[in-house]
Amino acid sequence: MSSWPSSKATRVLAALYRIGWSLKRQSGHMQRSLFALAVFTAVLLVGRTEAQSPQGDATAFHSKVASLYSFEPHKLTSQQIEAKSKVLDDFWSEVKADPKRYLPLLRNELRDDRNSAFFSYDGSKLLLAISEERNDRAVALEAIPRADLQGVQHTDYLRTVHWFARSGFHTTKAALRILDYPDFKAFIVQHALTLGQNYSLIYMLFPMRDSDFVPALIDRLNTETSVVSQKSILLALWYSMTAEAKAAAARFISDASKSEEARNYAKELAQRKASITSALTISTAQQLKEERRKVMYRLSDEALLEFDSLTLKLLAKQ
């Protein structure tokens, strides 16, 4: 005995066949009318079934993402950006109105690195807006570094990655992305604080433990060609106060193929000394590092001052 058709669409067509067979026993106009009605109904059912299927949803959603995000903001005029913003606002509203349906679709699109660079960032922010699941936040963090930061507000990027870092996520990949943009600059309005690439990098990394990011910084220093970015890496390595970081900086200083400006900067960092008063603490180096890490949860000029003060105490223990 043959098995029953497996898909809904196939079952509808099978039912249509049986209807057509039974209508052969009808006669004349009634036969033709009833058969036409059956065909029309079946076609609607098949179309509706396909449109509501998971595969149909995924295909339609991918097409929408590809169409809506087929641009990069930094290549548009102000008028074009305004028009695109309205369209994307509608898209956000649609997704937020039905998260149960759209969450799995959005996750899949963010895992697809073939989508546009801007979607990697904007889509990630949308995912963060509709889900508080840690796994979803991890999906967003993985996608964010694929963004072209020419088309993303630097302050928003800093705040987003910093939020991840102080929430216990590993942000090294997202933080190191700014090394591709020597002119990266963020402005913290509440504190009238401007952060260049160097201290933006510090803020994205130091809410984590240094073991999470020092190896990646050393690897990047070995290949980095931008003097600005080299100096940002050297500063972060100096702040880490680890043996591996010091060894990497020493190798950099002795490498004649590196720029003189960056090598001199590395020398200046290596020669910094702590004041006598900085040594007056009973805290261990590990306790100072932990205290300093928590200070970096706050984005402010006061936090930076505390960070530097604790760094000097740590330096006194070297």
Query: Residue for token digits 């390595």?
Result: 237
Sort strands 186-188 and 193-195 into parallel, antiparallel or unpaired: antiparallel
The pTM is what?
Answer: 0.81
What's the confidence (pLDDT) of residue 1? 34
285-309: pLDDT as tens digits: 999 999 999 999 999 999 999 999 9
Mean pLDDT of the chain: 86
Confidence of residue 4 (pLDDT cuts 50, 70, 90): very low
75-125: pLDDT as tens digits: 999 999 999 999 999 999 999 999 999 999 999 999 999 999 999 999 999
- C-alpha distances (whole Å) from 160 to each of 14, 227, 251 are 53, 26, 34
What's the confidence (pLDDT) of residue 283? 87
**Averaged over 149-153, what is the pLDDT?**
96
247-263: pLDDT as tens digits: 999 999 999 999 999 99
